[in-house]
Structure 1
Amino acid sequence: MAWNPGKQEEIGRIEMEENMEMQEITRGEDLEEAHEVKASDLKQTSRWSDQLTLRGVVTSFTVGIMFSIITMKLNLTTGLVPTLNVSAALVTFLLLRTWSKVLHKAGILSKPLTAQETTVAQTCAVSSYTIAYGGGFGSYLLGLNKKTYELAGVDVEGNVAGSYKEPGIGWMIGFCFLVSFVGIFILVPLRKILIIDYKLPYPSGTATAVLINGFHTSKGDQMARKQLRGFTQFFTLSFLWSFFQWFFSGGEACGFAHFPTFGLAAYRNTFFFDFSLTYVGAGMICSHIVNISLILGAVLSWGVMWPLIKGLNGEWFPANVPLSSMKSLQGYKVFISIALILGDGLYNFTKIMVISLRSMHSRYRQKKYKKEITDDMLKLDDQQRNELFARETIPSWLAYTSYAAFTIVSTIAIPHIFPQVKWYHVFIAYFFALVLGFCNAYGTGLTDMNMAYNYGKVALFLVAAWAGRDSGVVAGLVVCGVVKSVVYTSADLMHDFKTGHLTLTSPRAMLVSQAIGMAMGCIVGPLTFFLFYKSFEVGDPEGAFKAPFALVYRNMAILGVEGLSALPRHCLQLCCGFFGFAVAANVVKDVLPGRSGKWVPLPMAMAVPFLVGANFAVDMFLGSVVVFVWHKMDAKKATLMIPAIASGLICGDGLWVFPSSLLALFKVEPPICMMFVGPQSNGKL
């Protein structure tokens, strides 16, 4: 899965680092035997339909809603969504286990919980909440609304009048259904080749399988009790703390979220701890280098660059232009962030393509000139997993027919939703997505880097330039969503198939659960977005829900239409410098030895504070400090409890959004404003 400003959104380089950390978490002593879980040790159900249970679907729906709210909050605040697969798998298992225990104590007989049922339920839950951060609600779809259109500059030539579309539940649900399901069917006929023949590791899918298998070993029940207790305690603490904070937030810049931790001067440059337990928990999940990169980006931008550029008011940009204008300081923030994102993305895009082509060529030569490994040379355990995975067939004609049907429907329907998009834009996008889906799934299987957003950005620039000045911005954003969704979903499904392969889960059950979860997400995602959109000022650069990547994606489209003339004065030179820095940082990271290279900062992570501010980076860095200290004190306990406690912090604070949104909808204001001011302001008050 991916970190992306939509979760994410989910972004390739950061995603790889998170999944490396996720695997480290699952490698503790209590989970070591999960790596050695044999196929014969796992309880199996004979039919795929037995693995897809009612309690599993209900649990998936509950977890899907919970994590949709959480990821949407992250999506619309910073646009930075960590990989929550491990948290989702943990919460899904704990809910299923609690359900079974309650029924057992009530004297009601129920089927024993198996690894296969847990896998299917987890897959359904993840595919459901994936729509919330991968559906473009914080990036390309929100970039279409009027507020983002105005923020990009109504006087900018490429940002033509009327090139916006306000969010609507109806068209958003329809668009999600149109573009999300297509990716499921692209690679179904190739699943055996990618997983059994090529033996691609799919690290995220493997890490999730390791975790689930660990739950169903002899130590799993004992582990689950400890993790459930830790999750419950910190979930309650996080929720009650958010509830307590609400009473003091009755006004602008009021409450603990505006506590000037390092002084008022630092606060004005966004350096403060805002008591957001969501981001503390996210920092506990992410790798140390991600959090260090965020802090470095915050110091470089808000500590050095923005104060200096702001002081050049009247020289580099007109003095009478508001700092929020794209012709002022805001323009430097947006376009330098774009340069870092594109530099990192282009390097990794090229790198993954080279690795994939070399690997495919190597495997072709091996198959052509060397004797294939026969089944009798494989371990018996691998044979059992391969036989089960290959035994259940999913008709290829069903996949091809479904893909063709969705392509035809989308080619007709999407131009009706967005008149600026022509039918041939959509058709060509689906045609190339068919090829790009395989390339992305292969590269993701090798490196765990899902490059779907980079494919989407390429499509955005090409279609924006192709469609021209009048239609380019809208057409580019929409086609970006089409390509990204198809390519992302196809690779994501392969991760799920890898998890199913290692947990002896039926491929049919996995495919059906993915489809059920996606159908849930296509409804829950837009509804969750509107919960925020109607309750808070989404997209306000000075508010809590900045949704920064909506403006980034719109300006990418404007660049595609207008070219470099959209950049503010001296911004091109700065962008070239940061683009080069992103490429150089990646080269150094790959050239240096492993232990040294892993501490080179990640340009993609550094780019986020440039737009959003430093406060969330402080929160996440604190989470990283907690993990570091805990591992020094008691590594075994930390390895076991960190996923549960981080999940509790994220879920408790995240779910407070629901009651706070209802209070905001009913115009219920907090009773107290706790504000911090300097001595002079205090005297005036």
Structure 2
Amino acid sequence: MSLQSALIGFLISKMLPTPLSPQEIILVQATATATGTMPLAAGFVGILPALGLIDEERDGTPPIHLSWMAGIGWSCAVAFFGVFLSPPIRKQVIIEEELAFPSGTATAQLISVLHKLPPPDTSVRRRNGYQQIEDQEAGDDEDTLHSQETRPAEETTPLRDPEIVPSAGWHELVWSFFASALLTLAAYFFPVIFAIPIFGNYLAREWLWSFTPSFSYVGQGIIMGFPTTLSMNLGMLVGWGMLSPIAKFSGWAPGPVGDMTKGSRGWILWVCLAIMCADSLVSLLPVVWEFVVDIVVRMRHGSLAQAEDKGNGETETVDRLVPGRWVLFGFCASVAIGIFLVWLVFGHEGIKPAATFAGYIIGGFLSILAVRALGETDINPVSGLGKISQLFFAWIQPGNIVANIIAGGVAEAGAQQAGDLMQDLKTGHLLGAAPRALFYGQLIGSVVSIFVTTTAYSLYMRAYPIPGPSFPAPTAYVWLSFARLLRDGQLPPNSSIFMIIFAAIFGLVAALKFYATKKQIWWAKWIPSGVAFAIGFLNTPSFSIARLIGGILEHVFRTRYARSKGDIRLIVIASGFVLGEGVTSVVSLILRTFGIGVASCWGCGQSGICGGCSA
């Protein structure tokens, strides 16, 4: 959400008598990010649908469907945990280690382009109103400044095309928004538009090979980039083009292909889970190792206490920082209130208060790992971290699927929020926004998101089956399947050998990717991402193909048509695509709520996969 929020905030501010400053734009996007994080952090796309999929005969407990009020309680329980984790971690990862946080840095660069500012300095430096860092660093800054003053003007002036900023405005945003909105509305009334059987009706009906020409998916592919979308589609080809037919024809998954219990979609889900866990584990090991070594070295040299006495190289004045007592009180209060609310919503039989407390503690440690991984790779491995938490709770409260899912969700919420909000703090650090102001924005966004997210989810649940054809919620099956595995230890026939093979392969791939990235080898970005590859298994082909189109457009534009590195025209268009479908989906929700359905199911009778008609 960071890039889109910053862009929309800037464009709207141009209509105000006094446009917002870069620091105010950062506050806008930080608040928006905190609001947009809630559906993921609170598990509205995974945890809650998973609880609704529980089978009483198989799992020993009835499915859980939260009411609106219960959803508010659950959201309040996890909404603030990660926000209070961010300020104390910020000093270590942003100030001392200067981790890259690529998305946060990209947002700072976008804001500097929009305001026609020099590109942000990505190193720790002195700024007006900031504390003295070190005498040596001050000398380095003076030398740098002197060297810049002696260079020709063309070497010190950032490469900016003056036409880029004006053109990257309402015109591109408006036409891309309405194009996406009109296509989405047309697909609501004629569902076959988003379920095109590109390889024939048989493959579309029996093997789920269809194409969804969603502009939103294309826009997401543009934002994700070509390497990531390529990894997703490689996973799609292996999962749906190879393993799915193997499982079906071998009799290991005899049910319909799309069935998550007896079909090949449920069978390849386990291979997907193995890839995610292996990739996350291998990616986290170096982070954990470096963290432990750093702590040991500091303790040996007694530098921890000294660093505290010196302010630990902090670049901000005290009045701009979040006071430590706020963090301590807020963290303790959010944990205490969260434990009570989880007990109130799910009851003692669902999860014991002591287990919920353990979930918060585990979530705190996992958040540190998530932030460090995100800072280095721009990937928040919450899926793998959630599985680590589930492993712990298979021992803490064994045999209880509900407790396993809920506790895993609590831990994942902290990691998700802390990671996403740290990107905002990185943006603020680069452009001089006060951490305290961003903290306020994150709290405000979190409060608003509790009501917005819960209300929207309740409305969608009334209008659509979730999981269902329109909203498959594939991660819900991951959560439930892993909880069942930890309780029963049963895997689908012959899936274990494929899980071991793919886990070993992508463990090695993740290690190679980490090494190549660390050495800054040019081909590192072309090594497949294990998480992105696994997502190709998780989603049906219709979700991945359109994103690949967006990734290809991004690659072609960046390599052939971009006027400079600061050319944001394609990002503007991608944002319009995503926003257009997002806004129109609310219109579709209202139409369905009032009983206004599709206009024609032409074409869906043959393919049988149109969500609008089958729902």
Which TM bucket (shorter chain)?
Answer: 0.7 to 0.9
Q: Give the distance between the partners of 2:395 and 2:301, measured in 1 at CA.
A: 42
Aligned pairs for 1:376-525 (under 5 A) are 387-419=315-347, 420-469=350-399, 472-525=400-453
Of 344, 349, 363, 2:284 maps to 349
How far is the alpha carbon of 1:90 from its aligned partner? 0.9
**Is 1:140 aligned to 2:67, yes or no?**
no
Greater displacement, 348-357 / 335-344: 348-357
**Is 1:149 aligned to 2:54, yes or no?**
yes
Task: Report the counterpart of residue 107 of structure 2 in structure 1.
Answer: 208
Of 55, 61, 65, 1:161 maps to 61
Task: Report the counterpart of residue 552 of structure 1 in structure 2.
Answer: 478
Q: Give the distance between the partners of 1:676 and 1:405, measured in 2 at CA.
A: 52
Task: Report the counterpart of residue 7 of structure 1 in structure 2.
Answer: none
How far is the alpha carbon of 1:487 from its aligned partner? 3.0
Partner deviation per Cα, 1:607-644 (whole Å, 9 max, x = no partner) = 22323211121101111222233334412179321110
Q: Which letter does structure 1 place at the counterpart of 2:47?
A: Y
How far is the alpha carbon of 1:518 from its aligned partner? 0.7
Q: Which letter does structure 2 place at the counterpart of 1:264?
A: N
How far is the alpha carbon of 1:243 from its aligned partner? 2.1
Partner deviation per Cα, 1:146-185 (whole Å, 9 max, x = no partner) = xx124xxx654xx2232x3113221111111121212222
Task: Report the counterpart of residue 131 of structure 1 in structure 2.
Answer: 38
**Is 1:338 aligned to 2:273, yes or no?**
yes
**Is 1:296 aligned to 2:234, yes or no?**
yes
Q: Give the distance between the partners of 1:389 and 1:511, measured in 2 at CA.
A: 15
Task: Report the counterpart of residue 81 of structure 1 in structure 2.
Answer: none
Q: Which letter does structure 1 place at the counterpart of 2:242?
A: V
> 1:95 and 1:604, CA in 2 relative to 1: closer, same or farther beyond 3 A?
same
> 1:636 and 1:367, CA in 2 relative to 1: closer, same or farther beyond 3 A?
farther
> 1:390 and 1:366, CA in 2 relative to 1: closer, same or farther beyond 3 A?
farther
Structure 1: 5+ residue stretches without partners: 1-83, 105-110, 250-254, 376-382, 680-685
Aligned pairs for 1:519-534 (under 5 A) are 519-534=447-462
> 1:117 and 1:207, CA in 2 relative to 1: closer, same or farther beyond 3 A?
same
Of 147, 164, 168, 1:227 maps to 168
Task: Report the counterpart of residue 380 of structure 1 in structure 2.
Answer: none
Of 65, 68, 80, 1:181 maps to 80
Q: Give the distance between the partners of 2:515 and 2:211, measured in 1 at CA.
A: 36
How far is the alpha carbon of 1:205 from its aligned partner? 2.2
Say if 2:232 and 2:533, in contact at 8 Å, map to a contact too.
Answer: yes
Q: Which letter does structure 2 place at the counterpart of 1:354?
A: W
Task: Report the counterpart of residue 54 of structure 1 in structure 2.
Answer: none
Task: Report the counterpart of residue 262 of structure 1 in structure 2.
Answer: 199
How far is the alpha carbon of 1:413 from its aligned partner? 2.6
Of 14, 20, 25, 1:97 maps to 14
Give the TM-score of the pair, scaled to structure 2.
0.82
**Percent identical residues:** 25
Say if 1:388 and 1:504, in contact at 8 Å, map to a contact too.
Answer: no
Of 490, 513, 516, 1:589 maps to 513
Aligned pairs for 1:308-347 (under 5 A) are 308-313=246-251, 316=252, 324=259, 326-347=261-282
How far is the alpha carbon of 1:126 from its aligned partner? 0.8
Q: Give the distance between the partners of 1:202 and 1:590, measured in 2 at CA.
A: 15
Q: Which letter does structure 1 place at the counterpart of 2:494?
A: H
Task: Report the counterpart of residue 574 of structure 1 in structure 2.
Answer: 498
Q: Which letter does structure 2 place at the counterpart of 1:231?
A: L
How far is the alpha carbon of 1:125 from its aligned partner? 0.7
> 1:271 and 1:637, CA in 2 relative to 1: closer, same or farther beyond 3 A?
farther
Secondary structure class of the residue paired with 1:165: coil
**Is 1:562 aligned to 2:467, yes or no?**
no
Greater displacement, 129-138 / 203-212: 203-212
**Is 1:285 aligned to 2:223, yes or no?**
yes
Partner deviation per Cα, 1:402-450 (whole Å, 9 max, x = no partner) = 2222222222231221122101111222233344434443443344343
Q: Give the distance between the partners of 2:182 and 2:606, measured in 1 at CA.
A: 30
Partner deviation per Cα, 1:323-351 (whole Å, 9 max, x = no partner) = 72624434312212211211112211223
Aligned pairs for 1:16-55 (under 5 A) are none
Q: Which letter does structure 2 place at the counterpart of 1:173?
A: I
How far is the alpha carbon of 1:539 from its aligned partner? 0.7
Say if 1:179 and 1:486, in contact at 8 Å, map to a contact too.
Answer: yes
> 1:536 and 1:353, CA in 2 relative to 1: closer, same or farther beyond 3 A?
same
RMSD (CA atoms): 3.0
How far is the alpha carbon of 1:139 from its aligned partner? 1.0
**Is 1:605 aligned to 2:532, yes or no?**
yes
Give the TM-score of the pair, scaled to structure 1.
0.75
Secondary structure class of the residue paired with 2:20: coil
Structure 2: 5+ residue stretches without partners: 118-159, 608-615
Q: Give the distance between the partners of 2:528 and 2:203, measured in 1 at CA.
A: 23
Q: Give the distance between the partners of 1:95 and 1:498, measured in 2 at CA.
A: 23
How far is the alpha carbon of 1:367 from its aligned partner? 8.5
Say if 2:33 and 2:421, in contact at 8 Å, map to a contact too.
Answer: no
Q: Give the distance between the partners of 2:180 and 2:162, measured in 1 at CA.
A: 25
